[in-house]
């Protein structure tokens, strides 16, 4: 078991320059080395950092991966995306708990192990999957769980577990220019230096590159505006939070094409005049951290990062990695910046957008991992080359993360304009009945719409592509997503904090066979409130799965409705049972008819 005094708070704080802006990283290291963030550590940190305790506490209590109570020597978190469930996660989790004689969400009596769920961990192509002390184990089955259980019983330190448990194949099924071509580190930077910053922006503009993180904003416009914005310093931030369930293409880019991504960030630094950059890596990708640090070290060796990059006088730029701590909302760019600044990840008011006021209120470019990879390619091969790929409004290729009911889940690279039908054929999904494009916040399409195309002008996507066969119950899919949003709502604004919970509760009510037409009507009402009143994109899209499946798969709902008028949300008579036991009463007034 990790000992309390292993936790070297002064050392950790010093490693992060005594800077409260690095609080999330500091807390992460405390959590990792002590196993908890105990209350007295908050006091110590407040002293060491010279900030009020409440500041530490508000951050510590915001992130799902931080906790004050012990989760034992081994914390096991099962990924709980619908795709994990379809692959048998619930039964496997139960099997695992029985093997170790424990209950979920309860520390085992010997204080050894703790089991719970967590949101999708970016391994939908290898579902079901789990995290053990933050490290991912994919492709679970009974045999692998037996092994995990044995290792835990033997109290083997994680470092001595067989590496094969943690092996995560890339599963690139269809490579294209981004993933299929060799890239020589430095090639894009050399071209950039030869061309100059203005011409690089012109190439990016000609390429018509649009952001790959979901919103599809034109990258050249963002960079140019950031470059123009005045400030004490400019920053480059790579958004590797990849929290949208069903998305995992950034994981593969970072695992096998990190040079391309870092080079894209460095090209951006040159274009906007930045000296510092951040890779905000979701905590679930902890297993990539060391490798990415070594790629950064190698790039420093090669003169591709650090001072006078490639011998260019005054071209100084370096990249730090910050790890997230289990908060989907930190993928939203302004929440991400708050997190980089050591605060709870709550979205800021926008405008001003980060290009003018981002990290430390300075001009900051935030782009998705794939966007930076594209930018590096464009710097190397030119804008015209890129613009020739895809469709006129959607240039280039798109990485699609395919999972669910198909024979060949993994990453596929298509020129924009590929039809859903084509992707389904390529991944071996003959029985497909529905596809969730771009994750829970995206679009659910039915078999009637399989001729639609992946493109900003039709099906815009951040990359997720979850396939559901005829046997799947689309109501359960939507219900899983409402649980996701209710859990991930940051709680800052009431419409979303309350609305996502109401949606979740109503879907649970329907699932329990207690639904009525009234509930359906209420859910539509909540959707309107979320769309018009929520503060950020999470709330705006949180009702999409319910509304879209209601519209496209009405049967899945109707057969669950008990009455047309109204049905109580709970078992009236059952809710009196405890009091009947306490008082020993069984008279007529101690019962209620459940009519």
Ligand X SMILES: Cc1cc2nc3c(=O)[nH]c(=O)nc-3n(C[C@H](O)[C@H](O)[C@H](O)COP(=O)(O)O)c2cc1C
Determine the length of the chain. Answer: 595
* Choice between 168 and 538, CB closer to ligand X: 538
Q: Does 242 bind ligand X (CB under 6 A)?
A: yes
| 211 interface partner picked from another protein, ligand SF4, ligand X, none, CB below 5 to 8 A per type | ligand X
Q: Does 529 bind another protein (CB under 8 A)?
A: no
For residue 128, is the peptide bond before it cis, meaning its omega torsion is within 30 degrees of 0? yes
Site for ligand X, residues 294 to 323, rule: CB under 6 A: none
| 584 interface partner picked from ligand X, another protein, ligand SF4, none, CB below 5 to 8 A per type | another protein
Instruction: Compute how many other C-beta atoms are within 10 angstroms of the C-beta atom of residue 563.
Output: 11
* Choice between 200 and 489, CB closer to ligand SF4: 489
d(CA 488, CA 497): 9
| 585 interface partner picked from ligand SF4, another protein, ligand X, none, CB below 5 to 8 A per type | another protein
Instruction: Compute how many other C-beta atoms are within 10 angstroms of the C-beta atom of residue 455.
Output: 21
Shortest CB 330 distance to ligand SF4, Å: 10
Candidates 213, 415, 463, 515: give the one binding ligand X (CB under 6 A). Answer: 213
Site for ligand X, residues 355 to 384, rule: CB under 6 A: 366-368, 371
Q: Does 535 bind ligand SF4 (CB under 6 A)?
A: yes
Shortest CB 364 distance to another protein, Å: 32
* Choice between 562 and 591, CB closer to another protein: 591
Largest CA distance in the chain: 90
Q: Does 585 bind another protein (CB under 8 A)?
A: yes
Name the nearest CA neighbour of 557 among 567, 547, 565, 570: 547
* Choice between 158 and 529, CB closer to ligand SF4: 529
Beta strand ranges found along 324-387 (DSSP E): 364-368
Site for ligand SF4, residues 491 to 510, rule: CB under 6 A: 491-493, 496-497
Helix (H, G, I), strand (E, B) or coil at 537: helix
| 534 interface partner picked from ligand SF4, ligand X, another protein, none, CB below 5 to 8 A per type | ligand SF4
d(CA 315, CA 518): 63
Q: What are phi and psi of 243, to 5 degrees?
A: -95, -10
Contact between 520 and 481 (Cβ < 8 Å) = no
Q: Does 324 bind ligand SF4 (CB under 6 A)?
A: no
Query: What mask, x for binding another protein by CB under 8 A, covers residues 555 to 584?
Result: ----------xx-xxx-x--xxxxxx-xxx
For residue 485, is the peptide bond before it cis, meaning its omega torsion is within 30 degrees of 0? no
Candidates 376, 387, 424, 490: give the one binding ligand SF4 (CB under 6 A). Answer: 490
Question: Which residues, including other chains, have CB under 8 Å from residue 269's CB and lie 6 or more apart?
Answer: 234, 236, 275, 277, 317
Q: What are phi and psi of 322, to 5 degrees?
A: -110, 135
Candidates 177, 245, 246, 331: give the one binding ligand X (CB under 6 A). Answer: 331
Shortest CB 228 distance to ligand SF4, Å: 29
Question: Which residues, including other chains, have CB under 8 Å from residue 477's CB and lie 6 or more apart?
Answer: 82, 434, 436, 444, 468, 545, 549
| 489 interface partner picked from another protein, ligand SF4, ligand X, none, CB below 5 to 8 A per type | ligand SF4
Site for another protein, residues 204 to 233, rule: CB under 8 A: none
Q: Does 347 bind ligand SF4 (CB under 6 A)?
A: yes
CA distances (Å), 330 to each of 327, 382, 526, 586, in order?
A: 6, 32, 24, 52
Question: Which residues, including other chains, have CB under 8 Å from residue 595's CB and lie 6 or more apart?
Answer: none
| 331 interface partner picked from another protein, ligand SF4, ligand X, none, CB below 5 to 8 A per type | ligand X
Beta bridge partners of 237: 278, 366
Q: Does 575 bind ligand X (CB under 6 A)?
A: no
Candidates 125, 205, 332, 458: give the one binding ligand X (CB under 6 A). Answer: 332
Binding span for ligand X by CB under 6 A among 171-179, 210-218, 525-533, 557-565: 210-218
Beta bridge partners of 76: 115, 132
* Choice between 128 and 545, CB closer to ligand SF4: 545
Q: Sort 150 into a burial class: Cβ within 10 Å, 0-12 / 13-18 / 19+.
A: exposed
Helix (H, G, I), strand (E, B) or coil at 318: strand
Tokens 């600044």 correspond to 341
Q: Backbone dihedral region of 464: left (phi > 0), alpha (psi from -120 to 50 degrees) or beta?
A: beta
Q: Does 344 bind ligand SF4 (CB under 6 A)?
A: no
Query: What mask, x for binding another protein by CB under 8 A, covers residues 501 to 520?
Result: -----------------x--
Binding span for ligand X by CB under 6 A among 108-116, 139-147, 212-220, 421-429: 212-220
Alpha carbon of residue 532 to chain centroid: 24
Q: Does 118 bind ligand SF4 (CB under 6 A)?
A: no
Alpha carbon of residue 445 to chain centroid: 22
Site size for another protein (CB under 8 A): 23
Chain residues in the site for another protein (CB under 8 A): 518, 565-566, 568-570, 572, 575-580, 582-585, 587-592
- Interface residues with ligand SF4 (CB under 6 A)? 329, 347, 489-493, 496-497, 534-536, 538-539
Contact set with ligand X (CB under 6 A): 211-215, 217, 239, 241-244, 329, 331-333, 366-368, 371, 536-538
């Amino acid at each position: 078991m990790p000992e309390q005094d292993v936790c070297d708070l002064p050392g950790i704080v010093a490693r992060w320059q005594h800077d409260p802006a690095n609080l999330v990283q500091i807390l992460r290291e405390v959590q990792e080395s002590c196993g908890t963030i105990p209350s007295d550590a908050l006091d110590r940190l407040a002293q060491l950092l010279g900030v009020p305790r409440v500041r530490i506490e508000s951050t510590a209590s915001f992130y799902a991966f931080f906790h004050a109570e012990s989760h034992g020597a081994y914390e096991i978190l099962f990924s709980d995306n619908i795709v994990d469930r379809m692959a048998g996660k619930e039964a496997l989790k139960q099997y695992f708990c029985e093997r170790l004689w424990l209950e979920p969400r309860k520390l085992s009596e010997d204080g050894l192990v703790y089991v719970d769920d967590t949101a999708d961990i970016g391994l939908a192509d290898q579902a079901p999957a789990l995290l053990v002390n933050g490290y991912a184990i994919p492709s679970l089955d009974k045999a692998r769980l037996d092994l995990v259980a044995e290792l835990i019983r033997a109290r083997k330190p994680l470092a001595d577990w067989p590496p094969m448990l943690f092996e995560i194949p890339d599963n690139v099924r269809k490579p294209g220019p981004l993933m299929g071509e060799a890239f020589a580190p430095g090639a894009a930077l050399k071209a950039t230096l030869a061309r100059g910053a203005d011409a690089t922006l012109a190439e990016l503009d000609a390429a018509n590159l649009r952001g790959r993180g979901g919103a599809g904003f034109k990258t050249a416009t963002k960079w140019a505006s950031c470059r123009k914005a005045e400030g004490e310093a400019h920053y480059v931030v790579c958004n590797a939070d990849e929290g949208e369930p069903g998305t995992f293409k950034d994981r593969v880019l970072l695992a096998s094409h990190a040079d391309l991504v870092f080079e894209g960030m460095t090209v951006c630094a040159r274009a906007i005049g930045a000296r510092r950059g951040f890779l905000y890596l979701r905590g679930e990708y902890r297993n990539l951290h060391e490798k990415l640090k070594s790629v950064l070290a190698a790039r420093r060796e090669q003169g591709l990062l650090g001072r006078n990059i490639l011998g260019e006088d005054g071209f100084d730029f370096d990249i730090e990695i910050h790890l997230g701590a289990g908060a989907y909302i930190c993928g939203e760019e302004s929440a991400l910046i708050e997190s980089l600044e050591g605060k709870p990840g709550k979205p800021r008011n926008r405008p001003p957008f980060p290009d003018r006021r981002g990290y430390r209120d300075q001009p900051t470019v935030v782009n998705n991992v794939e966007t930076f990879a594209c930018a590096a390619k464009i710097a190397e091969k030119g804008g015209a080359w890129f613009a020739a790929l895809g469709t006129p409004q959607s240039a280039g290729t798109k990485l699609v993360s395919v999972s669910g009911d198909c024979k060949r889940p993994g990453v596929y690279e298509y020129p924009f304009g590929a039809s859903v039908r084509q992707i389904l054929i390529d991944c071996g999904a003959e029985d497909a009945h529905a596809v969730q494009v771009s994750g829970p916040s995206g679009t659910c399409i039915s078999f009637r719409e399989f001729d639609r195309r992946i493109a900003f002008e039709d099906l815009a996507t951040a990359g997720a592509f979850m396939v559901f066969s005829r046997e799947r119950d689309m109501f359960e899919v939507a219900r899983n997503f409402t649980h996701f949003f209710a859990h991930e709502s940051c709680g800052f604004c009431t419409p979303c904090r309350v609305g996502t919970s109401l949606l979740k509760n109503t879907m649970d009510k329907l699932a329990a066979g207690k639904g009525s037409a009234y509930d359906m009507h209420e859910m539509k009402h909540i959707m309107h409130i979320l769309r018009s009143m929520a503060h950020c994109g999470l709330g705006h899209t949180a009702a999409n799965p319910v509304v879209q499946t209601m519209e496209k798969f009405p049967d899945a709902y109707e057969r669950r409705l008990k009455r047309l008028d109204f049905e109580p949300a709970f078992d009236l008579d059952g809710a009196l049972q405890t009091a009947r036991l306490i008082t020993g009463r069984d008279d007529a007034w101690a019962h209620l008819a459940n009519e």
